[in-house]
């Protein structure tokens, strides 16, 4: 007889649940099911193509910057346009701001409570005490705010940035605003390091109590960033087998040739695989495939990470530590970008729209994001989003199944199964709002 146990998952973007199927005291499988439906691909049909950069950020209030830039790049690809270098730097700064904002949110608001067995970041204050520079919640909010302000400075506004346009950006960044932003970064960086150091210790403590959360079955890592600057996008996707034996690259226009897509009957989120194996995108993939972060403090953390956990490191628990490295890297990288002249020079080039097909590729905080538009008579006749969480879904379910087996026995189910399911899901930092587009 099969018994089904369901767990709603909190502290993630969107709504999802975990379903564990148990047959005669043994875990048969664990499924990660998205419960909401957005339908963006459907209602974009017939929309003017030039409106995509303004419309698609509404897919998600957290990932809006990634969708904004992906839409602009897809249209530029369709129109055969290359933006000026200064515009590309400002777009880069937007994406770095989103990285800082997202990783601070995931680390300190979503997963830090797990490390302290608290229900929220505000409960974490009581658990950890006030022996640092101030309360954890206030420090975390201060660091996260830097990400939102970076997006605003580079993108015009935080939630749904508007400054990137087909052909470049609307305007540059005033030197006075850049100087003020750099001062804020310099104040926030020690806070971020202090928080991350504490987080690292709590992660090691959690590892000793609950184990390493890993399995030996093969999978592929997936990234679309420069190997010496994991904040900088590239024009191709890299797939590397978990044992390092195989590395394959492909362009965004080739995604259907390389990725297998799987529909799920009882979930609004599909899944992808590569060579019929699960995929892991997100922070752990980027840090495993990077040669360096390109900034000194983050490189110090990356070296420490590799000494303590090996290279490549595969534990699910380590997604979170890699987010911390990326948070520090993002702050350092933003300071460097803002030191450049982002005010003078050509900000955009003339645009002549044309019908055709366009692909945009960006590395969102959760992994490679692809936008694919088919344009006829200036209108979108087909829009497809290939979402990072969709790439991770098979890996999430495999990790959930492995974790569930630790808690389910023939004669009992140990207390804490619900908490463990949440730990695993939050390690992947899924965005259900995007995955059910």
Binding residues for Ni(2+): 60, 63, 431
Burial profile 251-279: b = 16 or more Cβ within 10 angstroms, e = fewer: ebeebeeebeeeeeeebbbbbbbbeebbb
- The residue to which tokens 């808690």 are assigned: 407
Residues whose CB is less than 8 angstroms from the CB of residue 87 and which lie 6 or more positions away in sequence, other chains included: 164, 167, 168, 169, 346, 347, 348
Torsion of CA 50, 56, 57, 61, to 10 degrees: 160
Yes or no: say if 81 and 356 are a contact pair by the CB < 8 Å rule: no
Give the C-alpha separation, 222 to 284, whole Å. 10
Yes or no: say if 66 and 48 are a contact pair by the CB < 8 Å rule: no
Q: Where are the beta strands (DSSP E) in 146-275?
A: 164-165, 168-169, 220-226, 229-241, 247-250, 259-262, 271-274
Task: Tell me which residue of 124, 144, 210, 106 sits closest to 428, measured CA to CA.
Answer: 106
Yes or no: say if 153 and 145 are a contact pair by the CB < 8 Å rule: no
Q: Which residues pair with 239 in a beta bridge?
A: 222, 248
**Backbone Cα Rg of the chain:** 21
For residue 427, the surrounding DSSP H or E stretch is helix 417-428
Strands 2-9 and 16-23: antiparallel
For the annotated binding site, the residues are 41, 60, 63, 431, 434, 437
Give the C-alpha separation, 10 to 428, whole Å. 13
For the annotated binding site for Fe cation, the residues are 63, 434
For the annotated binding site for Mg(2+), the residues are 41, 437
- The residue to which tokens 């300190």 are assigned: 108
* DSSP code, position 403: H
* DSSP code, position 44: T
Query: Which strands make up the sheet holding 247-250, listed edge to edge?
Result: 247-250, 229-241, 220-226, 279-280
Burial profile 214-236: b = 16 or more Cβ within 10 angstroms, e = fewer: ebeeebbbbbbbeeebbbbbbee
* Helix and strand counts by DSSP (H, E) for the chain: 15, 14
């Amino acid at each position: 007889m099969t018994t089904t146990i369901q767990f709603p998952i909190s502290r993630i973007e969107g709504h999802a649940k975990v379903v564990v199927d148990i047959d005669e005291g043994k875990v048969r499988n664990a499924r990660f099911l998205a419960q909401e439906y957005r339908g963006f691909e459907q209602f974009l049909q017939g929309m003017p193509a030039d409106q995509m950069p303004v419309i698609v950020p509404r897919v998600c209030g957290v990932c809006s910057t990634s969708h904004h830039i992906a839409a602009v790049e897809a249209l530029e690809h369709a129109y055969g346009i290359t933006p000026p270098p200064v515009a590309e730097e400002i777009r880069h700064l937007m994406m770095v701001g989103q990285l800082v904002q997202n990783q601070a949110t995931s680390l300190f608001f979503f997963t830090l409570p797990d490390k302290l067995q608290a229900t929220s970041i505000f409960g974490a204050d009581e658990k950890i005490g006030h022996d640092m520079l101030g309360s954890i919640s206030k420090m975390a909010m201060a660091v996260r705010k830097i990400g939102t302000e970076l997006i605003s400075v580079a993108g015009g506004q935080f939630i749904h940035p508007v400054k990137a346009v087909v052909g470049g950006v609307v305007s540059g960044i005033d030197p006075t605003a850049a100087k003020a932003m750099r001062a804020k970064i310099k104040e926030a960086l020690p806070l971020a390091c202090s928080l991350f150091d504490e987080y690292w210790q709590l992660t090691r403590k959690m590892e000793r109590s609950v184990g390493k959360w890993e399995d030996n079955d093969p999978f592929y890592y997936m990234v679309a960033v420069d190997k010496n600057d994991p904040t900088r996008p590239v024009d191709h996707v890299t797939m590397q087998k978990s044992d390092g034996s195989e590395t394959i690259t492909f362009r965004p226009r080739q995604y259907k040739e390389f990725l297998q897509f799987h529909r799920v009957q009882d979930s609004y989120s599909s899944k992808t695989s590569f060579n019929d194996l699960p995929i892991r995108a997100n922070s752990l993939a980027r840090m495993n495939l990077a040669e360096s972060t390109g900034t000194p403090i983050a490189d110090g953390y990356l070296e420490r990470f590799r000494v303590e956990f090996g290279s490549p490191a595969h534990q699910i628990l380590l997604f979170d530590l890699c987010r911390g490295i990326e948070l520090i890297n993002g702050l350092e990288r933003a300071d460097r970008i803002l030191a450049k002249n982002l005010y003078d020079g050509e900000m955009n080039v003339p645009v002549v729209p044309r019908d055709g097909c366009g692909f945009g590729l960006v590395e969102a905080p959760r992994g490679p994001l692809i936008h694919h538009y088919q344009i006829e008579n200036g209108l979108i006749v087909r829009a497809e989003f290939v979402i990072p969480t969709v790439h991770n879904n098979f890996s999430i379910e495999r990790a959930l199944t492995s974790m569930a087996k630790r808690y389910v026995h023939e004669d009992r189910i140990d207390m804490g199964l619900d908490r463990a399911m949440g730990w695993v899901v939050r390690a992947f930092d899924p965005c259900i709002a995007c995955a059910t587009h």
